[in-house]
Amino acid sequence: MQFSLPRRRWVRCAGAPAADCAMGASARRHPAATPCVQPALGWNNAMAKRGIEECLCVEVQTPKPHPAEPLPVFAWIHSGANVAGSADGHLPTNLVAQNMLVVTLQYRLGALGFLSLPELSDGDNEAAGNVALLDQIAALRWVHDNIAQFGGDPARVTIAGQSAGGQDVGLLMLSPLARGLFSAAIEQRGTASVGLPARSLEDNRAVDVSIAKRTGIDNPAARLQPLRALPAERLLKAAQGVDVPALDDDGYIWLQAVVDGRVLPRAPAELLAAGAQAKVPLLIGLCGAGTALRRRGGCREAGASRLSRPRRRHPAHASRRHRAARRAAMQCNASMQLSTDLTFRCPAVTVAQRQAALGVPVWHSVFDTAVPCGQVTQSAELPFLFKNLPIGQPPVFLPRYWAAFVQHSNPHAKGLPAWPAFAPTHAGLQFDARGVHQIKDVRPGACAHLDLP
């Protein structure tokens, strides 16, 4: 670990091991406690030591090493469809200027984080299929046990994530193993199921048997040790292109929640319907436009600007092409909007309704703006949140709202427009090019008869 004090404005601890996942023969097992004296590797060495599996580290940034009072903690789980992405690059962040600690979590991805095989059924591996979530739980337990040493308050930990990270937050809300490790939650553009049916442990094992066969390992009696010795890159590559009946795109193979009976006792829809989720304040949101899961080679927007030169030279032909392009763009946009509703909007409303039914405070938001000259994409909110980019007018106050939620479990921030509670009228807050304003009812018409968590 290394502490750095650029301009003495904040302190950062880089590469603190939160759990151990050893390589070699013991690889692809559950995370274990780290050794009790950890060497100070320094920044560069800590990063160099972080391989594909040896990655269970947290980074901590605090505005001051010894605050007069313990500060609330914002624990971030990164996005990437559970197959890509990293916590690296989020820190340093100006979020700590809001008087809170920021912690980023690493976890195993792809087959390394969700592998389950019939032989992984002994007591040490009874939750195989959700090792990535166990990594996150181990990191949160490290935060609970150690964050006071950095000036943080272990009783005020808000877990937050975006996209796949938002889904993982939703799953941690449903996992009995994560109880007591956080006091509030933020699900941004992701819910426990993201509108997909859950996958049983048996179905997940069938998927993983197919992955093992694609690596050339096909003997059930002698499969586990060769898989553990396999280079991680080969295992991850073998998972690409595996057919999963419930999915149209194998790129999202690990976005199906796996019901293993321990980390996730039942399907998310059943747990939410039973009120089995953590009863903590929830802030749930999504991006407004162009946020659906995009298929590779999918439809592309065909704008009139691409036809300006042909229109001058061949006006009749260009007009026909323009009309055809507009029809194609409308079909594309309608398809994307429907996918967005089914994947994000409707599940977010369902989760908010279920949480509010428990008498727990819930706030809903729609983020529909972008950096100057940019487009609203599936991660449009992140530059505003972590990097405090200059954004011109009107200002976007997302970091201040989130900071208020982390500090008080309520997003009401002094001097900003009031953020209405979701219940009982399904109200919300919208961030767009006009600024920040209230939404009377966030429920899309397409969600009227759907119950998708």
Please tell me whether residues 206 and 105 are part of one structural domain.
yes
User: 452 lies in a domain?
Assistant: no
Q: 119-130 burial, b if ≥16 CB within 10 A, otherwise e?
A: bbeeeebebbbb
Give the count of domains, the chain.
2
User: 297 lies in a domain?
Assistant: no
Has residue 32 got a pLDDT over 60? no
Which of 127, 135, 166 minimizes the C-alpha distance to 57? 135
Please tell me whether residues 233 and 361 are part of one structural domain.
no
Of 380 and 431, more confident: 431
pLDDT at residue 7, as a whole number: 35
Is 134:263 a contact under the CB 8 Å cutoff?
yes
**67-88, pLDDT tens digit by residue?**
999 999 999 999 888 888 877 7
Containing structural domain, residue 433: 304-447
User: Residues near 112 by Cβ (< 8 Å), separated by ≥ 6?
Assistant: 28, 52, 53, 131, 132, 232, 235, 236
User: 79 lies in a domain?
Assistant: yes
CA gap 107, 137 in Å, rounded: 10
User: 290 lies in a domain?
Assistant: no
Has residue 204 got a pLDDT over 80? yes
The token duo for 69 is 């009072």
User: 156 lies in a domain?
Assistant: yes
Out of 239, 264, 280, pick the residue that ends a domain: 280
pLDDT at residue 247, as a whole number: 73
CA gap 80, 58 in Å, rounded: 17
The token duo for 37 is 């004296």
Please tell me whether residues 105 and 213 are part of one structural domain.
yes
Q: What ranges in 13-123 are assigned the alpha helix state H?
A: 43-48, 111-114
Has residue 167 got a pLDDT over 90? yes
CA gap 146, 141 in Å, rounded: 8
Arithmetic mean of pLDDT over the chain? 77
Please tell me whether residues 249 and 312 are part of one structural domain.
no
Angle at 309 between CA 306 and CA 310, to 5 degrees: 90
Of 342 and 402, more confident: 402
Please tell me whether residues 250 and 308 are part of one structural domain.
no
Has residue 442 got a pLDDT over 70? yes
Of 183 and 80, more confident: 183
Please tell me whether residues 319 and 231 are part of one structural domain.
no
- E strands in 26-81: 57-62, 71-77
Residue 294: CB atoms within 10 Å: 16
Out of 280, 296, 320, pick the residue that ends a domain: 280
Please tell me whether residues 130 and 249 are part of one structural domain.
yes
User: 296 lies in a domain?
Assistant: no
Please tell me whether residues 47 and 164 are part of one structural domain.
yes
Please tell me whether residues 53 and 171 are part of one structural domain.
yes
User: 291 lies in a domain?
Assistant: no
Please tell me whether residues 73 and 205 are part of one structural domain.
yes
pLDDT average, residue stretch 106-116: 88
CA gap 164, 83 in Å, rounded: 9
CA gap 320, 336 in Å, rounded: 24
Of 222 and 275, more confident: 275
Please tell me whether residues 138 and 223 are part of one structural domain.
yes
**6-25, pLDDT tens digit by residue?**
333 444 455 555 555 443 34
pLDDT at residue 148, as a whole number: 95
Is 14:49 a contact under the CB 8 Å cutoff?
no
Residue 35: CB atoms within 10 Å: 9
Please tell me whether residues 270 and 322 are part of one structural domain.
no
Is 174:192 a contact under the CB 8 Å cutoff?
yes
User: 294 lies in a domain?
Assistant: no
| Phi, psi values for residue 237, rounded to 5° | -65, -35
**348-367, pLDDT tens digit by residue?**
999 999 999 999 999 999 88
CATH number (domain holding residue 47): 3.40.50.1820
Of 377 and 263, more confident: 263
Which of 223, 160, 158, 217 minimizes the C-alpha distance to 189? 160
